[in-house]
Amino acid sequence: MKRSFASDNNAPVHPEIMNAIVNANKDDFVSYGDDPYTHEAQAIFNKQFSTDVEVFFVCTGTGANVSAISHLIKPWQAVMCAATAHINHDECGAPEKYSGSKVLTVKSEDGKLRTSQLEPFLHSLGFEHHAQPGIISITQATELGMVYTPEEIEEIARFAHQHDLLLHVDGARIANAIVSQESSLQEMITHTGVDVISFGGTKNGLLMGEAVVFLNPELAKGFKYVRKQSMQLVSKMRYVGAQFIAHFEKDLWLKNADHANKMARLLAEKIRDIKEVKLTMPVHTNAVFAIIPPEIIAPLQDKYFFYVWNPMVHEVRWMTHYATTEQDINDFVATLRRLLNR
């Protein structure tokens, strides 16, 4: 099988998820979410979060972030995030376009935010010439593969609420973060004070489907209209619901993420002793960042698709996913070594 190391988005659909889609593919059901699959999946989210959440299925991670943020923010407010955050760097300005509000960024080597970095923004509060801080958005796991501990999230949530701000989590890779911390959804999200999470599915084996989950149901009021206006209301919602049911069944989501993380750790271990390869980030989830000699990037990409993360320093990102095998890692490392004459 041809394996990509570019992104967990490159993975095939998990067979259990595909089965769930096929099994849901009979009979007529009411569209736009009033179907038994969507209802069951929504009930499962309540169980998983151990509280009554308001959950809305959407098509994409960008759609989840943008619709959640534009629902919760006023155009004169700002969302604060790390400069590396997907909402800032990889959503083509959609958060600004759809919310009409500003994104304020903080430089962060590991993609994590610290309250000390957020404090300077508070000077703007009440000053009409400055966009007013409204939302703090963190990514769990970050775009650099790093993970917040539940305590760190709790600290940011406390800081947010002390200053009348809301805390949004981009959880495109929430499962990878949870297993990496040997934590749980409740410990990491329900009990830390998060207001809303973009809950990822696509990077963890789904064909297509994410969820916007409001932990405070009051905040969800009116969101159904925003979802529609954001073009994220799927007519054949039953297939998203069916995928999420399978995703949670027998902890498939955690097993998939755990495997992806293990494969990344394995890759890092196997290349750690190669002197031409410099790992640039600790491997906490399913991403490995490394600086490699520029002359081997193209030949390696001929064999394996992956992205150059920072061309200025020849830093690349290799990602694993639920379907990456040990054999894939061994073959990849053998190719890398061959190109380096090692």
Ligand X SMILES: Cc1ncc(COP(=O)(O)O)c(C=O)c1O
Q: How far is the CB of 87 from ligand X (least distance, A)?
A: 8
| CB burial of residue 1 (10 Å; 0-12, 13-18, 19+) | exposed
Binding residues for ligand X, rule CB under 6 A, total 10
Q: How far is the CB of 86 from ligand X (least distance, A)?
A: 4
Report the residue from 77, 105, 108, 139 that binds ligand X according to the rule CB under 6 A.
139
Q: How far is the CB of 95 from ligand X (least distance, A)?
A: 11
Ranges within 87-116 binding ligand X (CB under 6 A): none
Site string for ligand X, 296-335 (x = CB under 6 A): ----------------------------------------
Q: How far is the CB of 172 from ligand X (least distance, A)?
A: 3
Q: How far is the CB of 10 from ligand X (least distance, A)?
A: 11
Q: 108 vs 132, which CB is nearer to ligand X? A: 108
Residue 133's DSSP bridge partners are 78
| Strand, coil or helix: 316 | strand
Single-letter amino acid, residue 32: Y
Site string for ligand X, 255-284 (x = CB under 6 A): ------------------------------
Report the residue from 14, 71, 86, 284 that binds ligand X according to the rule CB under 6 A.
86
Q: Contact between 170 and ligand X (CB under 6 A)?
A: yes
Cis before 323 (ω within 30)? no
Phi, psi of 147 (to 5 degrees): -130, 135
Q: 202 vs 324, which CB is nearer to ligand X? A: 202
Q: How far is the CB of 30 from ligand X (least distance, A)?
A: 26
Site string for ligand X, 172-191 (x = CB under 6 A): x-------------------
Q: How far is the CB of 63 from ligand X (least distance, A)?
A: 6
Ranges within 43-72 binding ligand X (CB under 6 A): 60-62, 65
- Which spans of this chain sit near ligand X (rule: CB under 6 A)? 60-62, 65, 86, 139, 143, 170, 172, 202
